[in-house]
Amino acid sequence: MNNNRNVWIFIEQEEGEIADVGLELLAKGGELAHTLGSQVWALLLGHQVEPLAESVIHHGADRVLVADHPELALYRTLPYSRVIIDQVQAHQPYIFLIGATPVGRDLAPRVASAVQVGLTADCTDMQIGDYLLRKEKREYKDLLYQIRPAFGGNIIATIVNPKTRPQMATVREGVMQSNQPDPERSGEIEVLEPVFESSDFALQVMSREVQEPTVKLKDAPVIVAGGGGVSSNNESRLIEELAHVLGGEVGASRAAVDAGFFSHEHQIGQTGVTVRPRLYIAAGISGAIQHSSGMDQSNKIISINTDPDAPISKIAHYKIIGDLAEVLPLLIRALREKAI
């Protein structure tokens, strides 16, 4: 086993466009590598993706391993895992991070199982630290603390892999921030020659549809979100109207999505999107951890709720105790008049 402490990042791309989470991980990987005194390596797979390698370097990679092959044009589990498993076995990185997207969650367990290492899902934070394994009375230095919510978000667990390398984790989209690209940054690009076996092609993609996201919650500066307190279409329209007046997006808690007032694309929280807008207005949202873990980093939070003791009031900067059906029209009017 070699002793490198390099941090590897899987760069997911779709039709030549790099997924945000890969760039977020390059930034986080850079911090971890800095602490460890090591390098960030990126894995870029696809067809005609070599031109993206420069951008990956500008975002923080020291070295990019590029596998450019027609069989890699669309993501498929077996050809992708073949290339990655071969590279992991050849170089034995110290840490390997993959975005917790549908692709990452399909790929990472396959790789971890093949190289027989531990894997932690859906991390929301990572740090470097020591771990005392009591049974062995041995301290493991500089491990990756893999931090993630568990039990429906009611606990935060810190997981370590003391013995297996790489230390693998999938990481939630949107919780880390990417670096501004630095065009002066330099790095190495290594082009791989993938070797496949016929069994790697057991699955064929017959057709594929990708929808443009109609709701862009992640980058919205203002979000107005409805929760279980929304009880009519009239009220959900008030939320949409307020979002429109503020030039923001509409969000929702799971309760409001399950009740049919908003589509799943609007859902914020553990089973939805993580956001950190400049202003978050929570209308009729109680603020259970399942929701608040996805928005508690917002710059300013306004809560509108009939219950003064709802958990949301603990994280809200402003709380308005009242019925959203009455409060929202007042807010809309005050904002409209301000604009004149």
Shortest distance, position 57 Cβ to other proteins, whole Å? 27
Q: Helices 77-91 and 102-115 sit at what angle, rounded to 10 degrees?
A: 50
Look at the alpha carbons of 237, 239, 245, 251 in this order and tell me if their dihedral is positive or negative. negative
| Interface stretch with other proteins, choices 49-57, 62-70, 152-160, 226-234 (CB under 8 A) | 152-160
**241: helix, strand or coil:** helix
Contacts 24+ apart (CB under 8 A), 179-185: 179/23, 179/26, 179/27, 179/30, 179/59, 179/60, 181/55, 181/58, 181/59, 182/58, 183/58, 185/57, 185/58, 185/60
Site string for other proteins, 98-137 (x = CB under 8 A): ----x--xx-xxx-xxx-xxxxxxx--------x-x----
Cβ neighbors of 176 (< 8 A, separation 6 or more) are: 24, 25, 27, 28
Shortest distance, position 60 Cβ to other proteins, whole Å? 25
Site string for other proteins, 236-255 (x = CB under 8 A): ----------x---------
- If the CB atoms of residues 157 and 195 are measured against other proteins, the closer one turns out to be 157
Residues 48-67 touching other proteins, rule: CB under 8 A, are: none
User: How many binding residues for other proteins (CB under 8 A)?
Assistant: 89
Q: How many CB atoms lie within 10 A of CB 27?
A: 17
| Interface stretch with other proteins, choices 47-55, 63-71, 159-167, 189-197 (CB under 8 A) | 159-167
Which helix (H) or strand (E) covers residue 291, if one does? helix 289-292
Q: Are 26 and 179 in contact, with CB atoms under 8 Å apart?
A: yes
* 325 is a site residue for other proteins (CB under 8 A): no
Q: How many CB atoms lie within 10 A of CB 261?
A: 21
Site string for other proteins, 183-222 (x = CB under 8 A): ----------------x--xxxxxxxxxx-x--------x
| Interface stretch with other proteins, choices 35-43, 150-158, 177-185, 187-195 (CB under 8 A) | 150-158
| Interface stretch with other proteins, choices 24-32, 37-45, 87-95, 307-315 (CB under 8 A) | 307-315
Residues 259-288 touching other proteins, rule: CB under 8 A, are: 264-265, 270, 278-279, 287-288
Of 103, 125, 117, nearest to 25 by C-alpha is 125
In the list 2, 48, 89, 154, the residue contacting other proteins (rule: CB under 8 A) is 154
* 152 is a site residue for other proteins (CB under 8 A): yes
